[in-house]
Amino acid sequence: MAEYFIPIAVITFLIIINGFFVAAEFAIAAAPRTRVAQMAEAGSVPAQRVLVILRTPDLLNRYISTAQVGITIASLGLGSYGEHAIAEWFIGPLEHLGWVGDALAHSAATVISVALLTYLHVVIGEMVPKTLALQSAAKAAVRLSPMMAMAELVFRPLTLILNWIGAAILRLAGLPEADAAAKLISSEELAYIVEESSVSGLLDPEEQLYLENVLDFHDRMVGQVMTPRTRMVALPINADFATNMRTVIEQPHSRYPVFAESRDDIVGILHVKDLARRVTLNEQEFDLRSILREPVFVPETLSLEDMLNEFRHRHIQVAVVVDEYGGTAGIVTLEDLAEELIGEIQDEFDHEIAPFSELDARTLRVRGDLLLDEITQHYDIDFDDVEAETVGGLIMEQLGHVAEPGERAEYQGLTFDVESIDGLAVETAIIGLPEEKGEETSAASTHDEATADAASEEAPDTPTT
């Protein structure tokens, strides 16, 4: 009995050791840093150590190297000891069969032992611990870290030598060493995580939209979100007080660009608070220049991220946007940037048309200046091969001329009906979304059934005998 007990105990021990290092390697590789940080903040000392390892590339590399050395030693021990021990169990019974020679018995016993060890090693020593570790990677990494700390001390000389040799081979081959940034998650991966979380029900659509807006924020430019020149409310500096006050009352805003000869010559920004101070002092005759604030000019291509930094550092909330020729393209405000993150903001003085509204499941009413990216976010429609950035621009691009009310443009199954125009620009349009395949099939089958029913009703009764 002892001849079986000791080999079984040794083989079991080596499989457990192998499984321990496999679990430790997969757990540390898959452990979410945020979850480990939460455990560390709760006071878990092992979690604090794991967090340091995850944040330090050298420590993480040493940790994984220790696990790999442990797996290698356990696997070699299992192969060298276990194969011989198990083969001995089968040689005698095979030889007693009589029709099997000694050489064939040894070969068959070796094949059986290798097959049995491979099964035990792969299933119990690899797959089971890997699965268990991945099910709760953060907890597994924290629980296994104290024993891994001891293993690191034991294997440290060996891991240092092996890491040095590995780094030398990479340098000789001209290959880059592991970069700490490689473990970081890119914005594209974050967007995929957000989408998958929404599909699985962990995020509601509004939360998904907020997160996607944040991820897209640095890719957007001022020219995409500004109030264009044609819709910009500006005050002429040479107009009389009553004229400018009428504009302020009829089109209330907190800040107005003020121009001299034309809108391409912005000379300052008027804040209504500065104007109100003069009004309360009954000063109706004063030089408007005396209360203007210095305008800040930015290019259309400035990113929203950089624009936000400009607003913060200069303590302003409005900037004049210039095009590549130096003319005024429009103005951008802090509110414009906020709306890119949380959606349209309308106060009690805003009477603008909503950017888009659903008339029914397949029909939208949209503003002409609505970015095509906004439609893509909500309805997963691509406009990659379109030069235009707005709905109005797309309509004119497809029509090939200035749009008129009632005209229709089509693009990849979508219909764009011009509802109203403002000057030469599309003010509102009705978008007809394409029917999904399931809806088309259902509609077709319903039509066929209706046709069949109508035919049967019109057919004369057939006499029976």
User: 123-150 pLDDT, tens per residue?
Assistant: 988 999 999 999 999 999 999 999 999 9
Mean pLDDT of the chain: 83
* Residue 171 or residue 52, greater confidence: 52
Lowest-pLDDT range, 16-20, 220-224, 317-321, 461-465?
461-465
User: 49 and 169: one domain?
Assistant: yes
User: 292 and 417: one domain?
Assistant: no
Domain count, the chain: 3
Structure token pair of residue 302: 């400035």
User: 28 and 140: one domain?
Assistant: yes
- We report the CATH number of the domain holding residue 374 as 3.30.465.10
Q: Are 51 and 37 in contact (CB under 8 A)?
A: yes
User: 302 and 394: one domain?
Assistant: no
Domain that holds residue 30: 2-183
Which pLDDT score is estimated for 459? 46
User: 111 and 82: one domain?
Assistant: yes
The residues, any chain, with a CB within 8 Å of residue 299's CB and separated by 6 or more, are 222, 321, 322, 324
Q: How far apart are CA 337 and CA 356, in angstroms?
A: 18
- We report the CATH number of the domain holding residue 248 as 3.10.580.10
Q: Are 372 and 412 in contact (CB under 8 A)?
A: no
Q: Are 335 and 255 in contact (CB under 8 A)?
A: no
- For residue 274, tell me if it sits in a domain: yes
User: 149 and 220: one domain?
Assistant: no
SS3 14: helix
From 294, 316, 342, give the residue that closes a domain.
342
User: 268 and 378: one domain?
Assistant: no
- For residue 196, tell me if it sits in a domain: no
pLDDT at 461 over 80: no
User: 190-224 pLDDT, tens per residue?
Assistant: 878 888 888 888 888 788 888 888 888 888 899 98
Which pLDDT score is estimated for 106? 67
User: 387-416 pLDDT, tens per residue?
Assistant: 888 898 999 999 989 999 999 999 888 899
User: 228-287 pLDDT, tens per residue?
Assistant: 998 899 999 988 888 888 999 888 899 999 999 899 999 999 999 988 888 877 666 667
Q: How far apart are CA 316 and CA 125, in angstroms?
A: 63
**Residue 465 — very low, low, confident or very high, per pLDDT cuts 50/70/90?**
very low
Q: How far apart are CA 402 and CA 409, in angstroms?
A: 12
Which pLDDT score is estimated for 101? 59
- For residue 210, tell me if it sits in a domain: no
Q: Are 254 and 275 in contact (CB under 8 A)?
A: no
Q: How far apart are CA 172 and CA 175, in angstroms?
A: 8
pLDDT at 97 over 60: yes
Structure token pair of residue 263: 């809108």
Provide the sign of the torsion angle of the four alpha carbons 135, 141, 143, 148, taken in this order.
positive
SS3 257: strand
User: 161 and 93: one domain?
Assistant: yes
Mean pLDDT of 56-80: 89
From 308, 342, 376, give the residue that closes a domain.
342
Burial of 339 (0-12, 13-18, 19+ CB in 10 A): middle
Tell me which H or E stretch contains 428.
strand 425-432
- For residue 232, tell me if it sits in a domain: yes
- For residue 452, tell me if it sits in a domain: no
User: 295-309 pLDDT, tens per residue?
Assistant: 999 999 999 999 999
pLDDT at 448 over 60: no
Which pLDDT score is estimated for 84? 73
**Residue 294 — very low, low, confident or very high, per pLDDT cuts 50/70/90?**
very high
